[in-house]
Structures are given as structure tokens and as C-alpha cells.
Amino acid sequence: MPLPLSAIPASPHENEPANAAKESAETLALLARRRSSKLMQLAEPAPSSKELDALINLAGRVPDHGKLGPWRFVVIEGEARERAGAALEQVIRNDEGVDDARRDFVRNWFKRAPACVMVVSSPRPSPKVPEWEQQLSAGAVCFNLLISAHALGYGGCWLTEWPTFDERARAALGLATEERIAGFVYLGTANMGASERVRADVSSRVSRY
Ligand SMILES: Cc1cc2nc3c(=O)[nH]c(=O)nc-3n(C[C@H](O)[C@H](O)[C@H](O)COP(=O)(O)O)c2cc1C
């Protein structure tokens, strides 16, 4: 059962005291054990529209050099999944080698999970903040959204897949030319517990200067 939205405290206003550090055994346990779900493990119900708004609000609380907010969210839920899938299908419809099965698959692209949030990296011109930093902030948004969803009680996964790398698909989904898809964060109710995967050996990737 997801937690009620009342479990999410209001975010502080500017200059209000914030908790820069607050010990939380539950956060540590979540980080130590959390896993993504596979798409096929994401069942109904999706987070409600209100829950999605709350999760997106948490997701946006990322480090962001220059306070540019160089990202935006596109919620693809309910029947919008059909419209977004149809837009993708139009893109590949007449591509060489595309058959009816592929067209159907692509048309149902966003119905593979109950809900999806497309996180768009939307860099702002800035003499001070390199685009790379702005893109990293968008990546942080994706993971913040995933962790927030897990903490509320929903399963999710962060995928890019071909639409991210297809200029035509990006345009069909409403991106401007300078924008990139940081990720599609698919969300739903995890219908089975995920078992642990192989992890990178972190210790072999640590050195001390
Ligand atoms: C930016 C990014 C893009 C990803 N895109 C894909 C993808 O397109 N297809 C895929 O199967 N996995 C993709 N993954 C990996 C999934 O998120 C995968 O489920 C995840 O690595 C599982 O790790 P976790 O259980 O620790 O969250 C991507 C990961 C990241 C960070």
C-alpha cells in the first residue's frame, strides 16, 4: 500500500530553515536495498495524478547550479499513453523493415506500464553553468523521481530506449531541438519483488588522491 500523500511534508519556502542533514535509518535502508522493477512487473494502479504531482515536486529538489531548473516533466498517464504512442508510431510507420507487429508494439509503447514521466533536459543559455552540469542535474531528477516513488510505495524504472536517440521521436513528443530526453521514468505498482542484480564492484572504482 502506498503511503498517504500526507506523509510528504511541505517543502520549505526560500530562506526558511531546511534540514541539510537529518539522520534517517529508513532512507539508508531504502538506498541500501532499493531496486528498479522491470516494465512487466509494473502493474496497476499507477500513482494518481495528485501523487504524480507530489513525486514530481520532490524530484525537482535536486542540486541545480545557477538555479536554472534546466529540465521539465511531461506526464504520460491514462489515455495520453495512447496519444503519445500513436505519435511514436507515426514516426516509424514507413521506415524500412517495419511491419504491422512493430507498428502495434510502438503504438502501445507507453501502455507497457501504468504511467510514465518523461524527464526532459532543457538547458538554458548561461555564461556560468556549462551544459554538462545542466544535463547532470536532469539525470539527478530522474533518480530523485525514482527514489521518491519507491519511498511512497510504487515501483518504477528509468529507461531511455530508442525514442531518446531518434530526433524525429523527440520532435513528435514535443521536444525542442536543443532539448534531450534524460529518461522515461515508468511507474506503477510492483507486482513482484525484484531480486538483486549484479552490481559494479564499487571498491575497485575508488581511489584516494
Ligand atoms: C540513463 C539510463 C538509461 C537507461 N536506459 C535503459 C534502457 O533503455 N533499457 C534498459 O533495459 N535499461 C536501461 N537502463 C537501466 C535500467 O534503469 C535498469 O533497470 C537499472 O539499471 C536497474 O538497476 P537498479 O535496480 O539498481 O535500479 C537505463 C539506466 C539509466 C541510468
| Binned average pLDDT, 10 residues per bin, the chain of 209 residues | 95 92 95 96 97 98 98 98 98 97 98 98 98 98 98 98 98 98 98 91 98
User: Nearest CA to 109 among 65, 178, 30, 166?
Assistant: 166
pLDDT, position 19: 86
- C-alpha 159 – ligand 1 centre gap (Å): 5
How far from the centroid of its chain's Cα atoms is residue 32's Cα?
20
Topology of the domain covering 36-77+112-192: NADH Oxidase (3.40.109)
Q: Whose CA is nearest to atom 14 of ligand 1?
A: 159
- Contact at 8 Å (CB) between 195 and 109? no
| Domain regions of the chain by residue span | 36-77+112-192
Contacts of 107 (CB under 8 A, 6+ apart): 82, 85, 86, 88, 89
pLDDT, position 193: 81
- C-alpha 178 – ligand 1 centre gap (Å): 24
pLDDT, position 149: 98
d(CA 9, CA 14): 15
- C-alpha 13 – ligand 1 centre gap (Å): 34
Ligand 1 surroundings by CB, under 6 angstroms: 35-36, 157-161, 183, 197
pLDDT, position 209: 96
pLDDT, position 139: 98
